[in-house]
């Protein structure tokens, strides 16, 4: 009798969670986003197949600053993404800098920008991604990092602010991985990979 009651209670709780969850029109059916994720603009969250955002996530996105996560990428708990405009204005305290003021002053749209996470990226626990950041394919972001600049493909970054630690693999391993995982038309070129290895 007790087992039946707890099974029934579990079904009721799952139904409540499902109905209370916001509608994500641009999230792939195979993607996972935790029911407790705090997403400011669900319609401006883009998640491709087999992506994952677990619990305690805060996504501060909007029309001008979208959050885009490409296939096979996932984060650990506590992901924070800030796509929005946080511009300071001379002569005004931050509390008085309204959205209308920001929109009027941000004519080049340099403060509100998309945050993009490319394919096959692993983001550790309690990572913060700031506006305009682009995380390259196959990269790793260490736990607790604050990412303020874009990250090249197949690199490992960590720290506050996040800095380059090392390449995930060498040229031969990256090429093998690209050939094994991606169809021909989606693979990175040898020249592009070499440029990353040289300039990092």
Question: Which residue stretches of 106-168 are H helix?
Answer: none
| Nearest alpha carbon to residue 28 among 77, 81, 68 | 68
| Number of structural domains in the chain | 1
Nearest-CA neighbor of 113 among 97, 125, 137, 129? Answer: 129
Look at residue 7 and tell me if it is in a domain: no
Separation between Cα atoms, residue 48 and residue 152, nearest integer Å = 20
| pLDDT, position 76 | 96
Which residues lie closer than 8 Å to 175 by C-beta, 6 or more apart?
Answer: 190, 193
Residue 35 lies in a domain: yes
Distance of CA 6 to the CA centre of its chain: 36
Residue 140 included in any domain: yes
- Residue 19: the pLDDT is 52
pLDDT tens, the chain, 200 aa long: 677 776 776 666 555 555 545 688 999 999 999 989 999 999 999 999 999 999 999 999 887 789 999 999 999 999 999 987 666 777 777 666 666 777 777 666 666 789 999 999 999 999 999 999 999 999 999 999 999 999 999 999 999 999 999 999 999 999 999 999 999 999 999 999 999 888 87
pLDDT of residue 164: 96
- Within a domain: 36: yes
pLDDT in tens, 101-135: 777 776 666 667 899 999 999 999 999 999 999 99
Position 4 scores a pLDDT of: 75
CATH of the domain at 100: 2.160.10.10
In a domain, 42, yes or no: yes
Q: How far apart are CA 43 and CA 27, in angstroms?
A: 9
Q: Give the model's pLDDT for residue 8.
A: 75
pLDDT at 92: 72
Dump pLDDT digits (tens) for 34-49.
989 999 999 999 999 9
In a domain, 5, yes or no: no
- Full domain range(s) for residue 74: 25-168
Round to whole Å and give the CA distance between 101 and 87. Answer: 10
């Amino acid at each position: 009798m007790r087992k039946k009651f707890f099974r029934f209670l579990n079904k009721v709780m799952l139904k409540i969670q499902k109905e209370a969850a916001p509608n994500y029109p641009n999230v792939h059916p195979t993607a996972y986003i935790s029911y407790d994720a705090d997403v400011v603009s669900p319609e401006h969250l883009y998640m491709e197949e087999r992506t994952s955002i677990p619990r305690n996530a805060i996504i501060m996105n909007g029309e001008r600053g979208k959050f885009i996560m490409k296939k096979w990428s996932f984060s650990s708990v506590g992901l924070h993404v800030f796509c929005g405009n946080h511009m300071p204005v001379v002569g005004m305290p931050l509390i008085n800098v309204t959205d209308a003021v920001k929109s009027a002053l941000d004519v080049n749209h340099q403060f509100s920008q998309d945050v993009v996470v490319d394919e096959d990226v692993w983001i550790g626990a309690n990572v913060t991604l700031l506006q305009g950041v682009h995380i390259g394919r196959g990269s790793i972001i260490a736990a607790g990092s604050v990412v303020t600049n874009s990250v090249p493909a197949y690199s490992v970054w960590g720290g506050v602010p996040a800095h380059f630690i090392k390449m995930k693999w060498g040229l031969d391993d990256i090429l093998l991985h690209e050939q094994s995982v991606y169809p021909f038309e989606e693979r990175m070129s040898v020249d592009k990979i070499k440029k990353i290895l040289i300039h990092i």
